[in-house]
Structure 1
């Protein structure tokens, strides 16, 4: 019994040390002058290296906050291929979207990562509106801006969507043919999940949740308090009890190891009126561009990528690439999985742009 007690005490002590180390790393990241919270992030612009350029532009009357990453020895008189990177639901440009944008710039692309309207550092009220039509428009807005950026060849524009941004990227690419090559990472079909629940766990409550969203919309219209869905904060114990990898690891990523003050799991309840009647995979046959869809082989969200990929019957040179051993969230940060994804993306975009 004494030995078991000692083992438990040691495990508890190690967990406490890990928590302190994680907090220390997070504190260092929060001191990044650009707010970037991923490993290897740019801390200052240096000649001859990848540089970051915070920018703001207008989209439908709102100020959109974005970061543009330029390659080493960037020369605005030359022409470069460019990639728009769409962030996950609840995410911001300083997290995984910025990580992949920086890696793309390290490989010779100009890349842009922008906060969605009503989210992050971008404008729009009420805060945390999460409507599909807005997110699709955000991606088109990145195309509008980066196509006119000095040094960008507008005929060599690609797009990468991550998680929820992946679903919205598929929808944007169906009609916007400025995107000559389309890629997704750990694609999340926001409409299908908000409607049916993750892994179809809420099929019996669709009408009930629509009633809640309807009442929330009516309350907003009457000038009442904004009602939010989602998770505002979470304890370590609650995280540990979360059954699915997506949400358990997602809570750790967004609320612990890669937390950012502009990032939140909250969204307006009234957004469900739009989300629950929307689906990323409708009209997938309209994508005729080269298509790369990537997912972790162990991701509990992989079924969404599989469903969308099967419907892309007219996509040119389409490929489903599995990141061996990775879960959904691990593709956001774990070096051995990020490196696999980046290598594949670079090859894909170099070939098709």
Structure 2
């Protein structure tokens, strides 16, 4: 059982754990990537159906024709990440290529509202995708019949689950997809035994009493507040990979804590994502995964379960985190072709 997984991700902690819009002009660049001079950036906010306020970064082509309507793409963050990291890279790049694109923070995380902080919910995180569609589809410059989504890492499964019931989502792409409900309930590569699962559930039940008595949920230690200059010795390969991105200058952001409240895992134990992935058809799905990604099996298995039209793209040499930010490896030409064809 990887030691540092308990610290990096809430999932591994338990395993081995438009209504009112507030918009403002760019008031400072706080991203982990360089700002493009080919797009217009705007910070926006809007409610989801639970009354929580979602914070997002909206990117539009710099030479945008205000008299026409554009196809739009909503981008979800990696699990535990924020919109200022990889999701923003995807959104800004797709805006450079002619789309209206938006990266958002999930409820309870980043700059979005919700207490307690760093809570995770499969239902609410899926809803956050539909809330983004609500917002985009009510912009005067967006064609609401041409809205697609991109989900990175954990948000890949959330995006697909949203599309199962939200027919306004016309095309879905995932990159380095994780199925969080599967890995939390069944363990890494489905190796969790019934005995281990029951022990975990007993521990989480006890934690609920502790949380209640303490008036606050237990939040495992996360990534350092300031970027580290090296990977700690003794970390397993997967934990080292996440540390390389989230804890070092490559992708570090102060709002990206990493793990979620420990009892958040109970909801994932009881809520199975992707149960109806085949019903997304005839809307298309594009799965993108790295050849060397430790998460590769999630995308390959989801691809088998999905109905046509579907496509699986394996990026040579890429690891899981490389599809977060390596613009030389992320197949943006493929994403552009996919959404131009299907939106």
| TM-score calculated relative to the size of structure 2 | 0.85
Over alpha carbons, which structure has the higher Rg? Answer: 1
Residue 81 of structure 2 aligns to a residue whose secondary structure is coil
Partner of 1:10: none
Partner of 1:283: 276
Structure 1: which 5+ runs fail to align? 1-31
Cα distance in structure 1, aligned partners of 2:86 and 2:212: 35
Cα distance in structure 2, aligned partners of 1:327 and 1:86: 19
Cα distance in structure 2, aligned partners of 1:250 and 1:269: 19
Cα distance in structure 1, aligned partners of 2:160 and 2:62: 30
Distance 1:206 1:231, change over 3 A: farther
Partner of 1:105: 95
The answer to whether structure 1 residue 252 and structure 2 residue 241 are counterparts is no
Cα distance in structure 1, aligned partners of 2:150 and 2:191: 28
The answer on whether the counterparts of 1:210 and 1:272 sit within 8 Å (CA) in structure 2 is: no
Alignment partner of 1:333 out of 303, 315, 325: 325
Deviates more, 1:226-235 or 1:275-284: 226-235
Partner of 1:295: 289
The answer to whether structure 1 residue 193 and structure 2 residue 183 are counterparts is yes
Residue 236 of structure 1 deviates from its aligned partner by: 7.0
Partner of 1:74: 64
The answer on whether the counterparts of 1:227 and 1:269 sit within 8 Å (CA) in structure 2 is: yes
Q: Which has the higher contact order (CA 8 A, sep 6+)?
A: 2
Partner of 1:54: 43
For this pair of structures, how many residues does the alignment match? Answer: 311
Structure 2: which 5+ runs fail to align? 1-26
The answer to whether structure 1 residue 268 and structure 2 residue 261 are counterparts is yes
The answer on whether the counterparts of 1:87 and 1:115 sit within 8 Å (CA) in structure 2 is: yes
Distance 1:206 1:239, change over 3 A: farther
Residue 149 of structure 1 deviates from its aligned partner by: 1.5
Partner of 2:196: 205
Structure with greater helix percent: 1
Distance 1:217 1:286, change over 3 A: farther
Distance 1:239 1:177, change over 3 A: farther
| TM-score calculated relative to the size of structure 1 | 0.83
